[in-house]
Structure 1
């Protein structure tokens, strides 16, 4: 408020100078967002939800007024990974009451979606998708509506999703279809992975620019898990149609793994969960799959699971996924900033 007396304070760890109330002694040994959440929970218990809503509104007004000085470096939100993380932190703290309530209900993804709405992100985009299982097509359409509408529309501009089903591990691929020979390969292939798509190719359903996504409908796969997988695989589609989005994840990956050695994913966790040829860099990611590399070159690691796993954790509704990324908040903030601020 206008009656607070502000003084300059220099963070001894970062060297950054900020303004703080004159009678506040700062400390840097705790998670500020977590402390704020604790205070709000206590206030709600003592004074009721009406009070906490008013407090949240005041907080939002204050944070928006103080927004510019909170930038870590110059150059805007996308200039550095640190800026994106800081932007996401600000968004999260601005809407901390929304997230507290969503987490309390066991639905953190609904909190993320509500933040997107409150920040003006239009949702509800209907993805272009075709295939032979109508029920799976409909569930795919509905879950993809949780991505920003402009992202879905960008996918639609490039082409459609050809979605088929099998009892195999789900995957995404955007095939190069420049000649009749390319189309004929898919029509006649003996590859087990692509058997489910042969009919679509023979019926001329697939065009250059389309992506193929396989949905796993094995009996052991629950509908909830399949919906999460739809979000994950569509993330790979976004990497193809919005390569700039992927560059931000690539930059963060390289920054975080400069001293890591390439390992098998199974070696990282001491379990035989992955194919033997799946490798990556561990760093301090929420889980080992974030660091998977599709190329052995550090210059071009193709760490394509960072984007998919981040958005899966934020939008998928799986508590385990969210808790993993919540424990590594830089990745949570980074993904949230992109969901809210990135426009193709």
Structure 2
């Protein structure tokens, strides 16, 4: 089943419950930054098709004056090599001369041929977001995700050289979440698409820091460090292979920086992790700076594309306008149809008033609020 990187997918990541105390904290913002460098060598003579897909969302709201303001910037475009692009969106609520809530999200990429290696490309991808609430009863949410697809019809094997860099900042009562995957989209002998995940990095409350010793733009040393002040955090790293083998690293800690989960298997088994009950070291945990992700498909299989991307989300849950069944910020025909199709059923999103059944009461709520937020 094909993996989708839509904005709805990243907003489905679990957050802390909606709260209005964020604005009272001395650190009223949550931020994330996801960056990766990559290199891929392609079959001789290949002129790759590069497709970039991006989704950015910025939302702000005043609980006394809903619906929320939700701005998005999403799209898909095809590029040649070399190319670069970036896209962003923002939203702000001001009261008088004071900014009460702000959100900003951006994504971008670049790709170019490696000098002296005519069949190899290199590039970078990034996604950033910031959500801030400075006034009582206000909130904000920012989400950004994108992925680059490199397609070369004659490819059946290769290696993706991958270097992640992730960091977040959690203030107040808001939350962040980050992810960074590499996927080979393959076609099996029956013509069916198959996804092979070569790399997956997810986490929150940490910084994946690197040091570039030789000045070539790539890190030579990398460490996982917890944020200061300490917050609950975790890192889950998976490295897969086309033969089905998976290496896993999992590290989690509590508000005091005490390790609650510690696991390293496969290729990561030799990494020195702190054990459960020990503190997360101030100097961090040393991890590989660069990951080589080889892939080789069986006879009869082919590579449709390599997908590399990632992103994150920061802030509080976006409050829904009454009657906004699908959560897109607008009470419209789509919400009305959702209630009508589910009429007589039990529970679900179409049960607007939460009484356990989809009936006239839910339909009236949608009709009463029709057009709100649109």
TM-score range, shorter chain: under 0.3
Q: Normalised by the size of structure 2, how large is the TM-score?
A: 0.23
More strand by share: 2
More helix by share: 1
Q: Normalised by the size of structure 1, how large is the TM-score?
A: 0.25
- Tell me which of the two structures has the higher relative contact order, counting C-alpha pairs closer than 8 angstroms and 6 or more residues apart: 2
